[in-house]
Amino acid sequence: MKKLYYPILPAAILLGMAGIPRSASGASAITSILLPEFEGGELILDAYPAMELMYNAYPMKVTVLPEDANIRSLRLVTDLDDDPEGPIVKANYQKADKTYEFVTTPFGTLLQGNPANYTEEERRESMWNSYDELSRYAAARSCTAWFEATDGSGVKSDSFIVTVMPRDRQPLSDNYQQGTFWLNEEWFGHTNGSINYITSGNEVKYRVFESQNPGEAFGCTSQYGMIFGDRLYVMSKQPSDNGDRYRFGGGRLVIADARTLKKIVSFDEIGTTPGNGATGPNGSTMMGDGRACVGVRADKVYIGHHKGIRVLNIDLEKAASQNYAIAASAFTLGKEIKVADDEKGLYEGQVGNMVCSGPYVFAVTQSNGLLVIDTEKDEIVGNLGTPLGEGTNKAYAVQGVVRSADGHIWFAERGVDNGKTITRLVEVDPFDAMVLNSYILPEGAGNITTGWGAWRSTNFIASKKKNVLYWASVGSGYQDEILGSSPGFIYRWEIGNDLPENPYFSLGKRPGKDENTFQVPYATMGYDDRTDEIVFATTHGASYNYRYEWIYRIDGITGEIHDYQQLRPYFWFPAMPIFPDRYAPEFTALDNVKLGLNAEEINLYDHISDLDGGENHIVFRLDENSDTESRTSSKEDIVEATLLNGKLTLNPVAEGECKLRLLAESNGKVVAHELLVTVGNATGIQNASCSYGLNYSDGMISAKGLEGCTANIYDINGRVIESQIISTDNWEYIPDYFKGLYILRINETSHAIKFKL
């Protein structure tokens, strides 16, 4: 018979099972113990280690008669209590609502005392022993159980069956591509972060990351996640929670394969300077408390923390390996973009939500406005926000930022205008970072705020398929002695229409754990473009009742509740939903291009599709290895190609044909398309670039007859790298750049030349 190892149970559980002796009061003697009804008279539990306390707990409310019976807890008895392998279930009495939490028995070994006092190897060995034992325990076990009074009266409940199921580690058949992830903060001081998965059939699969990585978890208080380049990125505020004895803290950043959930790599420290000087597990310093992250391009991600932003560089060739050990070496932390000086306050440089527009990342900060970051140089090049003056008129504080379906950037800011607090929505051009419009929300349109003290992603979101913004004013929506009163509203604005005067959804007074309690919003909502729904979490709230939580799906147009379900009771503390990114972009209706004497401009946004949405978020580039040389007898360049803001400009130079290799990147997925360009036989075409009075020879650019004009020099992707004023009629200029292909254009004319260094 296989031997199992049992840890010592904490005193709190032992006391709960042992009961409390009869007092000397005159209360009535117990006469009966009544059980609730449950399907089939059988209680089915998942096989988690017992010391996870309520992680797998099933609450059962047991009624004792008469109501004034002199007993405060009961003893759970099973027919396996004396079995050599020991009992398979225990019960922990919860006085808060007089229920019993059923907990499966322990597997493996337990570290005594503070896990931080042990080495990483000792911690892992303990956990691996535990989960190895559990994984090999493949058959379900059942027992007969009943409750007994602890006053010596011999009063018992009816018996019932308890079945403990083995831990399901089977990967899901949809490769985690058709459902919805819910990232969980988890119970601070007790467990590391986790992620659940709600299938397309509305079945909740709990802790799916751990199911594919036994003994592993995210860090402490997992608050933000994204899928980018077919990888799941999860950010946590700290690398591990010392209260979690069974799951090893994964780090402030954990990266996993989005289709298998297998862990690729993790980072405990994501900043370069200590936070508040405190120490974490094994003496590590608290370096850069995790915040949000954003994909910049396939080979780069920005990692936000409480002091700034760290650049994560990705070697795409290594990252593509199916060998995770090789793939792990592809991810390296690089430059840090400082937001505040080290000597400033703990959260002076705190970074919140970020979005990327291609040339720029727009990053919300607590005290420094909305930063505009050049993604080529990884440098701050601008700051957006609205200072309102002196005295009672304070500068606005930026709260959140999103990118709408048309590609424009929108940020929300709160400020004081003539003594009145208002919320403003500001529209920004994604290509030049210039403010286009601003709108003050009506009084009936709620407000948009970020809680910086215990940061979480702002409840300000956008659809990728429809030009609609959503925001939420969270709170109870009813009067409650503990929670107070604040609106549980969601607002919807179709850009271009009038701003909303009222919420499009109100949570109202929805029952909580019973009809006398009520739900409150919790976590950051998300928008599911697949179904045009808001995904929204609630809890009963307040202390022990945070273990009651619900997930809602709300119609994105009408505000009607389509579906909701209650999670297994536990302190999940949902953080945010994360939606799969199933599809790569596809070029459409873009084949051969024939040019005569005149240039042609092609808007590539008219020739791209992404079934996940966000076509206007796609970034286009020209492959530097594009063939622009003639395929006829001549070897000279036949076309000048520049790509700026998604617009491809083709200038004919010489007769012939060539192929341009276009790259389109959507959410970290890159596809290539070869475009055949043919330049026909047109008079003067061979000398088109020379007739402009422009020439490039032996490393020097020369211009004639263009005095006073502005010469802009572009790289292969259409980014302006330098501007020069042509100062004389016989202007000469020697460019000093990295080797590559460049374009010089004269702003006031159509003149242009291409040159290689």
Q: What is the pLDDT of residue 675?
A: 92
* pLDDT for residue 617 is more than 80: yes
Q: What is the pLDDT of residue 450?
A: 87
Looking at residue 282, the DSSP 8-state letter turns out to be G
Residue 210 to residues 168, 244, 261, 537, 623, Cα–Cα distance (Å): 10, 13, 9, 22, 40
293-325 b/e with 16+ CB inside 10 Å = b?
bbbbbbbbbbbbbbbbbbbbebeeeebeeeeee
pLDDT, one tens digit per residue, over 264-296 is 999 999 987 554 444 444 444 546 789 999 999
Burial class (CB in 10 A: 0-12, 13-18, 19+), 56: buried
Query: Which spans in 54-206 are helix H?
Result: 120-136
Nearest Cα to 420, choosing from 394, 459, 389, 438? 394
* pLDDT for residue 228 is more than 60: yes
Q: What is the pLDDT of residue 394?
A: 59
Q: What is the pLDDT of residue 95?
A: 63
Looking at residues 141-150, what average pLDDT do you find?
88
Q: Say which range, 100-109, 617-626, 725-734, has the weakest mean pLDDT.
A: 100-109
* pLDDT for residue 403 is more than 90: yes
Q: What is the pLDDT of residue 169?
A: 82
- 3 state DSSP class of 420: strand
* Cβ neighbours for 228, distance < 8 A, ≥ 6 positions apart: 295, 301, 581, 667, 668
Q: Rounded to 5 degrees, what are φ and ψ at 50?
A: -60, -35
Q: What is the pLDDT of residue 251?
A: 92
How far apart are alpha carbons 544 and 569 in whole angstroms? 11
Please give the single-letter amino acid code of residue 652. Answer: P
* pLDDT for residue 210 is more than 70: yes
Confidence of residue 356 (pLDDT cuts 50, 70, 90): very high
Confidence of residue 513 (pLDDT cuts 50, 70, 90): confident
Looking at residues 671-675, what average pLDDT do you find?
93
* pLDDT for residue 512 is more than 60: yes
* Cβ neighbours for 57, distance < 8 A, ≥ 6 positions apart: 92, 101, 102, 103, 569, 570
Looking at residues 227-255, what average pLDDT do you find?
88
CB 569 within 8 A of CB 547: yes
* pLDDT for residue 351 is more than 70: yes
Four-point Cα dihedral 224, 528, 211, 141, nearest 10: 130
Query: Residue 227 pairs with which residues in a beta bridge?
Result: 232
Q: What is the pLDDT of residue 342?
A: 61
Q: Domain 11-165 - what CATH class?
A: mainly beta
Biggest CA pair distance of the chain: 114
pLDDT, one tens digit per residue, over 548-558 is 899 999 999 99
Q: What is the pLDDT of residue 475?
A: 45
Looking at residues 458-464, what average pLDDT do you find?
96
Within 10 Å of residue 346's Cβ, how many Cβ atoms?
12
Confidence of residue 535 (pLDDT cuts 50, 70, 90): very high
Q: What is the pLDDT of residue 741?
A: 72
How far apart are alpha carbons 239 and 261 in whole angstroms? 19
Within 10 Å of residue 240's Cβ, how many Cβ atoms?
27
Q: What is the pLDDT of residue 691?
A: 38
CB 185 within 8 A of CB 238: no
Which two tokens mark 403?
């990118």
* pLDDT for residue 405 is more than 90: yes
Report the residue count for the chain.
757
The per-residue pLDDT of the chain, averaged, comes to 80
Looking at residues 336-363, what average pLDDT do you find?
83
Domains 11-165 and 586-756 share a fold: yes
Confidence of residue 635 (pLDDT cuts 50, 70, 90): very low
How far apart are alpha carbons 662 and 620 in whole angstroms? 7
Looking at residue 24, the DSSP 8-state letter turns out to be S
Q: What is the pLDDT of residue 34?
A: 87
How far apart are alpha carbons 545 and 734 in whole angstroms? 71
* pLDDT for residue 730 is more than 60: yes
Which two tokens mark 329?
């070496």
Which two tokens mark 484?
């107070």
How far apart are alpha carbons 530 and 528 in whole angstroms? 5
CB 597 within 8 A of CB 688: yes
- 3 state DSSP class of 42: strand
Nearest Cα to 450, choosing from 276, 271, 223? 223
Using the structure block, give the residue that is written with the tokens 């790509």.
643
Q: What is the pLDDT of residue 706?
A: 83
CATH code for residues 586-756: 2.60.40.10
How far apart are alpha carbons 576 and 353 in whole angstroms? 13
The dihedral region occupied by 634, where left means phi > 0, alpha psi between -120 and 50, and beta the remainder, is beta
Looking at residues 155-161, what average pLDDT do you find?
91
Highest mean pLDDT among 483-492, 571-580, 678-687: 571-580
pLDDT, one tens digit per residue, over 15-57 is 233 333 344 445 688 899 888 876 667 887 766 544 343 444 5
Share of the chain above pLDDT 70, in %: 77
How far apart are alpha carbons 652 and 633 in whole angstroms? 17
Using the structure block, give the residue that is written with the tokens 């061979």.
686
Break the chain into its structural domains and give their ranges. Answer: 11-165, 168-266, 269-385+429-434, 453-582, 586-756
* pLDDT for residue 725 is more than 80: yes
Q: Identify the H or E element spanning 14.
A: helix 11-18
How far apart are alpha carbons 382 and 372 in whole angstroms? 5
Question: What is the 3-state secondary structure of 646-703?
Answer: CEEEEEECCCEEEEEEEEEEECCEEEEEEEEEEECCCCCHHHCCHHHCEEEECCEEEE
